[in-house]
Amino acid sequence: MKILVAETAGFCWGVRRALDQAVDLAKKIDGPVQTFGPLIHNAQVMEELTEQNIHSVENLADIHSGTVLVRAHGIRPETFAQLRATGADVYDATCPLVRKVQKIITKYANDDYDVVIVGDDHHAEVVGLRGYTKGQCFVVADEKEAETLPSFDKVCVVSQTTQNDDTFARTVEVIKQKARVLRATNTVCEPTRDHQRETIDLARQVDLMIVVGGRHSANTCRLADLAAKEGARVLHIETDGELQESEVAACQTVGVTAGASTPEWMINRVVEKLEAFRPETTSRLNTYLKQAMGVLVASNVYVGLGAATLTLAASLLLQPTVGREELWPLVSAAGLFILAMHTVNRYQERSHYSGWGSFSPRVFQRFQQIMLWVGVIALACALGLALSLGFGQGLALAAFGLLGALYGVKLVPLSWARHITGIRRIKDLPASRDLATALGWTVAAAIVPLLTVGSSSPLRAAGVIGFVFLFVFLRSALIGVRDVQGDKIMGMETLFKVVGKRRTKAVLVGAVATLTALLLGLTFPWHGLPLAAFVFTVVPYTCAVCWSYHQRLLPKGAAGEILVDGQFLVAGAMAFLWHLNRQ
């Protein structure tokens, strides 16, 4: 049985944005975050959000104060006023694409146009849009319902953002016959179009189409309808628990897609269950490799190995004549320190909604409790090794270790934070994760070796420190992209979330160019074959990783991190080969 998974399946960026806002608020305030209506049409995600003190409130009468977040669907203007009148702090997570529709309706309503909304009458988005009209407002689901509309002098026609392009076009053709002046704007959003196009294409290739998502999610139900119209047998499920082997027994090809409210880990679990029904769909070796990658990444062993190999390269770049007896404690201390800090920080985020691969958040959190002890032991060993190298080395690691431990701790009282844009912790600072990660790795992989083995010149030392910082910053930014594309709710602690996709690309290109210049600079003076020339071979690898991000080919889950952190292993391997050759 062949399994085809839609590339666009899962959270749309509007849903991610609303979830990020809710999680950020929950981290900054002391009380619960109340969302006016369910933040997302997915019962499993809502259950996880409840554990983070994010709760859905349906009625205005239940809100008396506290913090209220307006969900991505938007609300009526008068409802905004009523929410503010309760004394609550009101935050708006309305999707910008929905807000665009609100502005279109407002513009034409002010010019005395009637309004027709093509969509689902009782959908939360449509209920909110109706509040922006002033004259007559009608909601129709399709061209058949449009036949019952009255005649119009002037009419504005818009669409619910999760509607279907063809339905909208056919409906507008009917309304044209009933209006003297018609202004129609197709406001179906691009993520919806991408979801629908790929679902239609996939449905034409498969015997069975599995649609994963809430049964009350309008966009998910529409995907199921579109697939059915292409002649495919459709199975709409909310979780992998609903899958039965008998339903796929006779299928040669199965397609999997998901609505905009479905996280990646739920999609992965459906795929893995399908693979379990037909073990021949994946080789035993492939299964073992996937499991091994998942354990290496989730346990932070792989990232620790990456830090160790990067430290090897940096130490040799600083002092090419350093011996192995000095390299081993440097490499071991850095690897254990980075493993420990990533483990401790991930444990601090154990209540954060971020399932890993096919693991639900709860299973992943239980695993992290075991890993916390591993992290504590690794940190103690790293500090011991650093102190054996010298007091300054131990102090450097201890200082940054303390800073890392405080990364997610609320250091600023809420009353003060209100005057500094709500910043209470280090991680609340924009792009803090990418910058803090780069600094931490630089201390372990470059500063500690510099204090231990020295450098032939201050300029070389600065070049190596810059090389390590940029290299790790690139890694962290790309992992942030992977997390966002993989439906992890990140808040604003990554570069991608702060500056957006286009500027992230520009920053990555600039970082690669600077990294290339630094490595070229470190090749001088050219005596024999310099180490920097060996390490320079990592640049094409880094360019390939950045290109895969640009093309949205960067794998999700553990595979993405294996690929990105492979840069450090390449750099370390080339340094080790150079060292062996020199011996």
State the Cα–Cα distance between residues 293 and 537, nearest whole angstrom. 25
The proportion of the chain whose per-residue pLDDT surpasses 70, expressed as a percent, equals: 86
Residue 234, pLDDT score: 93
Residue 216, pLDDT score: 81
Q: What is the CATH number of domain 11-95?
A: 3.40.50.11270
Across the range 341-349, mean pLDDT stands at 77
Across the range 446-473, mean pLDDT stands at 92
Residue 490, pLDDT score: 45
Q: Are 68 and 90 in contact (CB under 8 A)?
A: yes
Residue 246, pLDDT score: 86
Residue 348, pLDDT score: 67
Q: Could you give the residue ranges of the DSSP H alpha helices within 299-390?
A: 301-318, 324-348, 361-389
| Burial (Cβ within 10 Å: 0-12, 13-18, ≥19) of residue 304 | buried
Residue/partner pairs of 83-90 with CB below 8 Å, 24 or more apart: 83/36, 86/60, 88/34, 88/63, 88/64
Start-to-end C-alpha separation, the chain: 53
Q: Are 511 and 541 in contact (CB under 8 A)?
A: no
| pLDDT classification of 556: cutoffs 50, 70, 90 | low
Residue 276, pLDDT score: 76
Peptide bond into 525 cis (omega under 30): yes
Q: What is the pLDDT of residues 13-31, one digit of tens each?
A: 888 888 888 887 887 777 7
Asked if 125 is an active-site residue, the reply is yes
Residue 488, pLDDT score: 46
Across the range 338-360, mean pLDDT stands at 66
Q: Are 212 and 270 in contact (CB under 8 A)?
A: yes
State the Cα–Cα distance between residues 344 and 480, nearest whole angstrom. 18
Tokens of 350: 């154990």
Mean pLDDT of the chain: 84
Q: Which amino acid is at 547?
A: W
Residue 110, pLDDT score: 93
Residue 494, pLDDT score: 65
Is residue 50 classed as helix, strand or coil in its secondary structure?
helix
Q: Does residue 526 surpass a pLDDT of 60?
A: no
Q: Does residue 524 surpass a pLDDT of 80?
A: no
- Domains 11-95 and 291-582 alike in fold: no
State the Cα–Cα distance between residues 65 and 382, nearest whole angstrom. 48
Choices 3.20.20.100, 3.40.1010.20, 1.10.1530.10, 3.40.50.2000: CATH for 97-188: 3.40.1010.20
Least confident span in 115-124, 200-209, 266-275: 266-275
Q: Is the dihedral angle over the CA atoms 332, 336, 338, 339 positive or is it negative?
A: positive
Q: Are 341 and 379 in contact (CB under 8 A)?
A: yes
Q: Are 378 and 343 in contact (CB under 8 A)?
A: yes
| pLDDT classification of 69: cutoffs 50, 70, 90 | very high
Residue 372, pLDDT score: 81
Q: What is the number of residues in the chain? A: 583
CATH class of 291-582: mainly alpha
Q: What is the pLDDT of residues 272-299, one digit of tens each?
A: 788 777 655 556 667 677 778 877 887 8
Cα-based distances in Å from 268 to 43, 76, 171, 376, 485: 17, 37, 37, 31, 14
Ranges of each domain in the chain: 11-95, 97-188, 196-290, 291-582
Residue with tokens 């420990």: 340
Q: Which amino acid is at 311?
A: T
Residue with tokens 């980075």: 338
Q: What is the pLDDT of residues 105-134, one digit of tens each?
A: 999 999 999 999 999 988 999 999 999 998
The proportion of the chain whose per-residue pLDDT surpasses 90, expressed as a percent, equals: 40
Q: What is the CATH number of domain 196-290?
A: 3.40.1010.20
Q: Are 334 and 311 in contact (CB under 8 A)?
A: yes
48, 125, 238, 561: which one is catalytic?
Answer: 125
Q: Please list, in sequence order, all residues whose beta carbon lies within 8 angstroms of the beta carbon of residue 244, skipping any fewer than 6 positions away.
A: none
Helix (H) / strand (E) element for 494: namely none
